[in-house]
């Protein structure tokens, strides 16, 4: 798994790079769990102020790897299997992001789809390339909002735009998202490597002449002011709603059709 998600420490930056271009950086349940674990490990590093999640290839992440679904355990009841996957996947991921004590930065060199798009609402800073777009095709897949997006999207981009994104799966580009205040900066760049270099340089510049402990304490103050229990409650509700959708069997049919290429996904 480590070959698909890499972590390096570079001064005050912890940099996580997703490297699974064959699936447009769509991740299996095990890989989402690895990402959660890396965030927890970085949280304990005293010399790290900023955590960056970036990726290789044309997509930041296409969300779930629909061709490699988690299999049921022998003797496991269907609902128990769904609850386990929801808790170990989305539930743990959202908690590890929401509770991350470092400044959390998404450096999106390409589009974000599905759960990968949904979790962006939990990040502190979002940098994108000009061609970036966000797509949450939940209703098209018989799913519901996830990644705490039912809370963070209306709060961060406004209810009007969140309705377009979540209810109808409208694809929204970088310019409109920046105007709405959802992303912080659209970076003009030659390629992904140039984009990432610019983001890393910008982050180091932001840290100049700053007390890192003050930065992290201010982040904690802001989280506390927004009531972190809201995210936890929304995360639990979305998990159970997701289980209810999978109990209908409809999402499985949609994912199977995409995996077999009998249904074209609007990436």
* Active site members: 146
Distance between CA atoms of 226 and 234, rounded to whole angstroms? 13
Q: What are phi and psi of 44, to 5 degrees?
A: -90, -5
Give yes or no for a contact between 267 and 111, defined as CB atoms under 8 angstroms apart.
yes
Distances (CA, A) of 30 to 36, 65, 122, 218, 267: 10, 11, 21, 33, 23
Cβ atoms < 10 Å from Cβ of 177: 22
């Amino acid at each position: 798994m480590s070959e698909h998600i890499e972590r390096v420490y570079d001064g005050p930056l912890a940099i996580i790079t997703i490297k699974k271009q064959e699936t447009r950086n769509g991740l299996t349940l095990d890989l989402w769990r690895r990402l959660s674990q890396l965030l927890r490990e970085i949280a304990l590093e005293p010399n790290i102020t900023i955590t960056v999640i970036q990726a290789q290839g044309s997509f930041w992440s296409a969300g779930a790897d629909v061709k490699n679904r988690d299999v049921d355990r022998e003797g496991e009841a269907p609902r128990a299997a769904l609850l386990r996957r929801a808790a170990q996947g989305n539930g743990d991921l959202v908690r590890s992001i929401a509770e991350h004590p470092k400044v959390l930065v998404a450096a999106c060199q390409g589009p974000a789809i599905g759960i990968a798009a949904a979790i962006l609402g939990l990040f502190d800073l979002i940098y994108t390339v000009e061609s970036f777009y966000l797509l949450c095709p939940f209703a098209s897949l018989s799913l519901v909002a996830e990644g705490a997006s039912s809370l963070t999207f209306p709060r961060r981009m406004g209810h009007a735009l969140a309705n377009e994104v979540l209810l109808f799966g409208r694809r929204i580009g970088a310019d409109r998202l920046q105007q709405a205040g959802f992303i912080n900066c659209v970076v003009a760049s030659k390629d992904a490597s140039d984009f990432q270099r610019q983001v890393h340089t910008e982050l180091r510049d932001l840290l100049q002449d700053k007390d890192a402990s003050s930065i992290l304490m201010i982040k904690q103050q802001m989280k506390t002011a927004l009531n972190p229990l809201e995210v936890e409650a929304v995360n639990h509700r979305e998990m159970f709603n997701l289980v209810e959708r999978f109990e209908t069997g409809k999402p499985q049919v949609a994912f199977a059709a995409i995996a077999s290429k009998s249904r074209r996904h609007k990436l």
